[in-house]
Structure 1
């Protein structure tokens, strides 16, 4: 039986590239997301080893749909990639609360609920948990989004500590500026793109496949002794954190 992976936020960008990479490595991949039409397109792009699981995983009532899709198979890889910058107003305390809550739910609660629900299914030993953070967690600039992504760093340290003796690894990948995704949809200007590229030492933007390659390493034989780490893939925009 093929190995099994779950990739949340798997319909576009980094998630789709990661799911495609894992399918190429021989995994059956469940791609999870809120938009059924986007997931359907991703399945066509990835191929027959991908299965769409439409669910809003910030809603505890929808998590069982993913658990049912896994069934009684051992889960080899869980990539918690779902998340987004959620814009909001901050003129009143009520608006501030809503803005921060929305970013927490999108970026932290999705990972916590999915990991908690699928923890019994993870292969022991050998299971791999990966969380997608952001360069914003380390350099700021995103307000509640930066804070939410930074929360994943503390969370993964607990996961790695709690699960290490069961042979399960847990790590964070923190991407820098990545094009070909929906993250900056409607918000990126030519000047903004140039500034972000120039902030790298390599003077180039990252791509979803750059992040997928980091996942390939962490999920492959070479990543078996790596746990509790923040893996930066940012072209040198942030050094050595």
Structure 2
């Protein structure tokens, strides 16, 4: 049976790599993004389905369930085999005019909305369509462990929520895990602000002395949704070349 995979933030960066990996496996993949142009282009390039959806907008997220019904048998209700909450990123630049505290609040609210609340809303909207054997996978960050500011705090909260979600869904046979990514080259995460010196420092922090790649994250996500990972749930999987180690 063909798997149904939903990847939020699937039009670029890690989300796109994850979508491409599942599509290569023959899955029916639905990617979401906030902009129609990038959603349409990604859908055509990867041979997947696209839907414009801002994961932080409850009304737009509510429509995801209806979109999944399009993949069901006539008259049936759409199921979901893999949900990958990949939407997120650094906080949006604050608009001018506010006080310093108002600007700080806007930054933190942006981080929480993009990196935590979008995943919470999306999962709540579709979790009744998850069946035994399904997987929920989130994309976290090494920033949750150090020097992460509002972004890191939001990713740390995402890990805490993942553990709680696993306790709720694991009795139904649904696994929930978080991939904590280290520095990954080949994305626009830093929005052009990464200097050569900072890049060298990030690579030097690793034990294998190389940056991560989007495929490193995509392959990990694919494994976590595989039969071999059915007893892995409630976990944060660190994929960072040893830049942050656990024991």
Alignment map for 1:22-61 (pairs within 5 Å): 22-47=22-47, 50-61=48-59
* Residues in 2 aligned to 1:19 and 1:107: alpha-carbon distance in whole angstroms: 19
1:21 shift after superposition: 0.6
Unaligned runs of 5+ in 1: none
Equivalent residue for 1:114? 122
Q: Which secondary structure state, in structure 2, belongs to the residue aligned with residue 99 of structure 1?
A: helix
* Residues in 2 aligned to 1:142 and 1:22: alpha-carbon distance in whole angstroms: 30
* Residues in 2 aligned to 1:45 and 1:176: alpha-carbon distance in whole angstroms: 27
Q: Deviations over 1:116-175 (max 9, x none)?
A: 00011111x111000101000012x22100100000111011111111110000000000
TM-score normalised by structure 1 residue count:
0.95
Q: Deviations over 1:9-61 (max 9, x none)?
A: 100111111001111112100001101211222222212xx100111110111
Q: Deviations over 1:62-85 (max 9, x none)?
A: 112222111222100000010011
* Residues in 2 aligned to 1:156 and 1:106: alpha-carbon distance in whole angstroms: 16
Unaligned runs of 5+ in 2: 70-76
Equivalent residue for 1:75? 80
**Closer, same or farther in 2 for the Cα pair 1:87/1:62, shift >3 Å?**
closer
**In the alignment, is the contact (CA less than 8 A) between 2:65 and 2:78 conserved in 1?**
no
1:221 shift after superposition: 1.2
**In the alignment, is the contact (CA less than 8 A) between 1:32 and 1:66 conserved in 2?**
no
Equivalenced residue count is 237
* Residues in 1 aligned to 2:40 and 2:209: alpha-carbon distance in whole angstroms: 35
Equivalent residue for 2:110? 102
* Residues in 1 aligned to 2:209 and 2:229: alpha-carbon distance in whole angstroms: 28
Alignment map for 1:168-179 (pairs within 5 Å): 168-179=174-185
Equivalent residue for 1:129? 136
* Residues in 2 aligned to 1:55 and 1:88: alpha-carbon distance in whole angstroms: 21
Indicate whether 1:206 and 2:212 are aligned.
Answer: yes
* Residues in 2 aligned to 1:231 and 1:197: alpha-carbon distance in whole angstroms: 19
Equivalent residue for 2:73? none
* Residues in 2 aligned to 1:164 and 1:112: alpha-carbon distance in whole angstroms: 17
Indicate whether 1:12 and 2:19 are aligned.
Answer: no
Runs ≥4 residues deviating over 4 A = 87-91
* Residues in 1 aligned to 2:91 and 2:65: alpha-carbon distance in whole angstroms: 27
Q: Deviations over 1:177-233 (max 9, x none)?
A: 001112112211111111111111111101100000101110111111100000000
The alignment yields a C-alpha RMSD, in angstroms, of: 1.4
TM-score normalised by structure 2 residue count:
0.92
